[in-house]
Amino acid sequence: MAALILMAGPRITAITIWLLTDWFSVFNGWFLPLLGFLFLPLTLLWCLAVQHWYGGNYGAFQIIVLILCILTDLSCDGSSAKQGSSSD
């Protein structure tokens, strides 16, 4: 249950940003934000933050955080839960 809440957090934040701000206007369409929302929500949020807080400039810090966001998004596939549920 806690994992579902943690996984929903970035998506709820993205919906809130979409409803209350114009941050998503940096995208020319709806397809990439939808993919980000579904598969890489932390990465989507970080890309939005870089666009608005850093003017879209990716320095060393922004790239390191981007890589950490991508790795975190990709690691949330439930594989750790599958390891603990095997019966020997």
Domain count, the chain: 1
45 in any annotated domain? yes
Check residues 59 and 36 and name the one with the higher pLDDT: 59
- Helix, strand, coil in percent for the chain, rounding step 5: 75, 0, 25
The pLDDT score that the predictor gives to residue 55 is 92
Which residues form the domain of 25?
9-76
Residue range 7-41, pLDDT digits in tens: 788 898 999 999 999 888 888 888 888 888 989 99
The pLDDT score that the predictor gives to residue 83 is 54
Check residues 76 and 81 and name the one with the higher pLDDT: 76
The mean pLDDT value of the chain amounts to 84
Which residue, 63, 64, 18, 72, is CA-closest to 40?
Answer: 72
Check residues 82 and 50 and name the one with the higher pLDDT: 50
If you write DSSP's letter for every residue of 31-58 in order, what string do you get? HHHHHHHHH-HHHHHHHHHHHHHSTT--
46 in any annotated domain? yes
1 in any annotated domain? no
The pLDDT score that the predictor gives to residue 36 is 85
70 in any annotated domain? yes
How far, in Å, CA of 2 to CA of 25, rounded? 32
